[in-house]
């Protein structure tokens, strides 16, 4: 999959770039593994996270005037802005070759209580990117929308708005064919902000019972680097209107808890499924399965719009049914090996997280 010149002399805009995935993506781009970009623009509305990320990039422990006022001279540029605001998007995107839309409201309970806020960030934000490019004829080559397994047959507001984000980006290919729009869709990201692993860690370290919503609950599990690999795969191999899905492993949440607890005398408490929560997550639905192509360790879901997919369904699709986290589960040993690989066992240092330095 590697292409060590892909980012050469390109300007990359990452909306929501101070989040877990955005920071990991930026770190990987700065490593040079895909080439040397001309500029990386991080746009978000959190000045505190931007400040910490800037200091990390400059290997500094405290702020100086040089740190602040040389912002636009640096390879890594920070912009305060919100995808909800069209003018912010236009300003940030006007020189971009590639846009990664990682800006999102992603917490299921928060989106259930404030669905209108999820709509504005997850849907209006995507539409503002499309409008900025189309109405101002911006020379953007590729836009990647970061989606979630919860967008597949959604039952909660977060998933519903992410599903609409997918459709907004996919359909944008028709009216602006010079820009390639596509999406990535993946499941629970290990150690990302707000995910279950940090919650379990905190509960164990405080001697509290681990809370599990249902004994049969399963989730896809992948690392932040695997999430970034999926974006790289989409950039290198994806076609307009496709959704790229990693063939990620899945596990029972009870096994994740068991592995993390180890020999400790920690109880588990079943709390019941929360509003808007599924027992199993789905990465590809029954309806999408006929449109799937196998691409190594990934699935590519072809668009259903005939203008973007003249071939229609794929008779050689590797999927005959939905791709669910309940289909093929890691056993307890496999779950432990996965967590150990990413240094997420309770005695290890957690893997790359929201607070890790870019260097």
- Residues recognised as catalytic: 150
Q: Are 18 and 53 in contact (CB under 8 A)?
A: yes
For residue 194 the two structure tokens come to 């707000």
For residue 223 the two structure tokens come to 């690392």
CB count within 10 Å of CB 99 equals: 28
Q: Whole-angstrom Cα distance, residue 19 to residue 238?
A: 24
Q: Are 319 and 299 in contact (CB under 8 A)?
A: yes
Q: Whole-angstrom Cα distance, residue 80 to residue 336?
A: 40
Query: Cα Rg for the chain, rounded, in angstroms?
Result: 20
CA angle 185, 339, 209 (to 5 degrees): 100
Tell me the HSE value of 70 on the side-chain side, using a 13 A CA sphere. Answer: 12
Q: Whole-angstrom Cα distance, residue 82 to residue 86?
A: 8
Q: Are 42 and 53 in contact (CB under 8 A)?
A: yes
Q: Whole-angstrom Cα distance, residue 173 to residue 240?
A: 7
Q: Are 48 and 76 in contact (CB under 8 A)?
A: no
Q: Are 129 and 13 in contact (CB under 8 A)?
A: no
Question: Residue 169's closest CA among 156, 155, 157, 179?
Answer: 179
CB count within 10 Å of CB 53 equals: 24
E strands within the chain? 11-15, 39-44, 76-80, 98-101, 142-148, 180-186, 188-189, 210-212, 218-222, 243-246, 250-252, 268-270, 282-284, 292-295, 298-301, 323-324
């Amino acid at each position: 999959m590697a292409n060590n010149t892909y980012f050469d002399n390109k300007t990359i805009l990452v909306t929501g770039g101070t989040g877990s995935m955005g920071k990991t993506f930026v770190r990987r781009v700065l490593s040079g593994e895909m080439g040397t970009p001309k500029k990386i623009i991080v746009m978000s509305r959190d000045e505190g996270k931007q400040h910490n990320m800037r200091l990390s990039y400059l290997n500094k422990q405290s702020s100086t005037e040089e740190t602040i006022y040389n912002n636009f001279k640096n390879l890594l540029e920070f912009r305060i802005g919100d995808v909800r605001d069209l003018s912010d998007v236009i300003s940030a995107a006007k020189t971009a070759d590639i846009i990664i839309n990682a800006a999102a409201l992603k917490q299921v309970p928060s989106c259930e209580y404030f669905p209108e806020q999820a709509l504005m960030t997850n849907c209006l934000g995507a539409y503002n990117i499309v409008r900025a490019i189309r109405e101002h004829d911006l020379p953007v080559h590729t836009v990647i929308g970061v989606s979630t397994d919860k967008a597949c047959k959604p039952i909660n507001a977060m998933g519903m708005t992410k599903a609409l984000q997918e459709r907004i980006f996919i359909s944008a290919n028709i009216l602006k064919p010079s820009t390639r729009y596509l999406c990535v869709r993946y499941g629970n990201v290990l150690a990302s902000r707000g995910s279950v692993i940090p919650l379990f860690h905190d509960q164990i370290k405080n001697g509290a019972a681990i809370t599990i919503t249902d004994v049969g609950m399963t989730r896809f599990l992948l690392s932040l680097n695997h999430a970034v690999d999926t974006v790289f795969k989409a950039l290198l191999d994806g076609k307009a209107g496709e959704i790229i899905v990693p063939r990620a492993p899945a596990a029972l949440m009870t096994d994740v808890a068991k592995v993390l607890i180890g020999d400790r005398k920690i109880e588990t408490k079943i709390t019941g499924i929360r509003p808007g929560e599924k027992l199993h997550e789905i990465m590809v639905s029954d309806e999408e399965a006929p449109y799937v192509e196998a691409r190594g360790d990934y699935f590519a879901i072809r668009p259903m719009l005939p203008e973007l997919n003249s071939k229609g369904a794929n008779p050689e699709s590797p999927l005959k049914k939905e791709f669910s986290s309940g289909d093929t589960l890691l056993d307890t040993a496999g779950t432990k090996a996965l967590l150990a690989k990413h240094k997420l066992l309770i005695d290890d240092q957690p893997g790359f997280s929201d607070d890790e330095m870019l260097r």
